[in-house]
Amino acid sequence: MKDPGLSHLNRIPQKKLDLILERVSKLEERERNLYTRLFVLYTNANIPIEYWDLNPENFVGKSGSKKIFEDYVADIGKSYLDGRSFLISGNHGSGKTWLLTNLLKFASRNGYRCLYTSMADIVSLLTSGPVEQKYLARQELFMSDFLSVDEFDDRFILSGASADLFLSTLENILRPRLANKLPTFISTNSTNILEAFKGTLKESLMSLFKKIEKHSIFDNDLRSTTCLPNPKPLKSTMNT
């Protein structure tokens, strides 16, 4: 069984992937084929393993995450063609990452190229990574059909220079993607993330944000209740 081609923004250690592949290889043929497909799709999309089995039918929160998901995927082809993008804000554990990853899981199973990453990982790679890796990562960010950027939060911004770096990086990703109507999702814990910034970069980013939907969700911390444990460990990490 071949390993999938990993994103240059990958956070998942190869040893962990090898162990999952080993367990998948021991399944009966029908299940093995299904879980191999999901493994490749979710790994290539860089979706954290924790979210592989957190699905819409398991969601128990009262926030708007599930409603946003259902509305978006009701016609995934139209959402993609229209380039529907959004900024989602909410407290910790309200379902933001759940929403991003489930949208990518759904889209990837329907033939779209997807990528999940965080703002901190993007900035780190594009500022300090090897030149070739920077180029390839930029290509992934620009060319993915669906892109989710998690953790765009002011807690990572230390100074004016740091703020400018974050803003310019995000602007350089958003501008070509929105121009090409490529769906882009951004999540933040801040109620008004742009208030953390100043200057012309802020004005430029605000003009871009006018082109995307805004959603605000608040709920209790759902991270311990969004999915019931599955008695079959393998299936609990490879659920459809």
pLDDT-based confidence at 2, cuts 50/70/90?
very low
The CATH number for 57-218, chosen from 3.40.630.30, 3.40.50.300, 3.50.30.30, 3.40.50.2300, is: 3.40.50.300
What gap in Å lies between CA 215 and CA 172, rounded to an integer? 22
For the sheet containing 86-90, what is the strand order? 114-118, 146-150, 184-188, 86-90, 213-217
Mean per-residue pLDDT for 74-85? Answer: 97
Residue 240 reports pLDDT greater than 60: no
Cα-Cα end-to-end distance for the chain: 20
Give the residue from 102, 100, 120 showing the smallest Cα distance to 110.
Answer: 102
Write down the pLDDT at residue 76: 97
Write down the pLDDT at residue 148: 96
Per-residue tokens: 148:
């989710």
The C-alpha angle with vertex 105 and arms to 227 and 189, in degrees rounded to 5, equals 70
Residue 228 reports pLDDT greater than 50: no
CA distances from 18 to 1, 14, 189 (A): 10, 6, 33
- Secondary structure letter of residue 4 according to DSSP: P
Q: What predicted TM-score, i.e. pTM, was given to this entire model?
A: 0.84
Write down the pLDDT at residue 229: 30
Q: What is the dihedral of CA 164, 206, 74, 99, to 10 degrees?
A: 40
Mean per-residue pLDDT for 167-191? Answer: 89
Helix axes 160-179, 131-143, angle to 10 degrees: 50
Per DSSP, the residues of 127-191 read HHS-HHHHHHHHHHHHH-SEEEEE---GGG--SHHHHHHHHHHHHHHHHHHHHTT--EEEEESST
Mean per-residue pLDDT for 63-77? Answer: 89
Residue 145 reports pLDDT greater than 70: yes
Residue 177 reports pLDDT greater than 70: yes
pLDDT-based confidence at 104, cuts 50/70/90?
very high
Percent of the chain with pLDDT over 70: 77
Per-residue tokens: 218:
């608040």
Write down the pLDDT at residue 60: 64
Q: Which of 21-25, 114-118, 176-180, 192-196 has the lowest mean pLDDT?
A: 192-196
